[in-house]
Amino acid sequence: GANATWALVGINVAVFALWCVPRLGPRMARHGLHDPRSGLAHTLLTSAFSHSSFMHLAFNMAALVSFAPLCQQLAFPGSPESFLALYLSAAVSSSLASHLASVLGFRQLVLPSLGASGALWALLALFWQLAPHAPVGIMFIPHLRFEAGDLIPFLVGADVAGLFFGWTYFDHVAHLGGMVTGYWYAHYGRTAWLRLQHRLEQHRHALSWTSRRA
């Protein structure tokens, strides 16, 4: 489980290092930002590994290291592949939510998006649903603790307010898109995945039995 978390951290750090190479700037801007006007689809994913500053990177990676192992223990014991599938799916779905908000005219200003926060918000939502009474804190204020079921709905409310008032410092639509993905997975995704695994195992046994009879 920890290996999957640190692999994601390593990729994010490596991408940030590439951003620091001046001659790579134009290429990184094309492939590391998601601009709804670009016509590119792969940036829905790749933009989730780009960060605008060292502090942006550090904040997101600290949150990832804090929550990802807990989510893996609660929802994906012994299955880092399932954790990575959710993380990457949330990265895409949060970028897609931001994209749709731009192309459907919900924003007056269309800006390129980047950052891991949409995927992180999915992990927060998953943690909130699976461990609502777990104590969580606010970064840089270690002595202030809340239950997940109290703090995370407040964060959702802040994003809804940001969306309503048109705040642009954070990509509130991407945050909410990630939250919806994590919430959906907590209530439906895990069950659907286990059901699919069971059916695949049944088909595998049926094919094996048919082969032996042949």
List, by residue number, the catalytic residues: 117, 175
Distance CA 128, CA 67 (A): 11
User: CB under 8 Å to 16, separation ≥6 — which residues?
Assistant: 50, 51, 54, 57
What are the distances in angstroms from CA 168 to CA 11, 99, 173? 27, 14, 10
Q: What phi, psi does 133 have (nearest 5°)?
A: -100, 5
Distance CA 193, CA 82 (A): 9
Task: Name the residue type at position 63.
Answer: A
Size (the chain), residues: 214
Q: Identify the CA nearest to 91 among candidates 175, 5, 24, 202.
A: 175
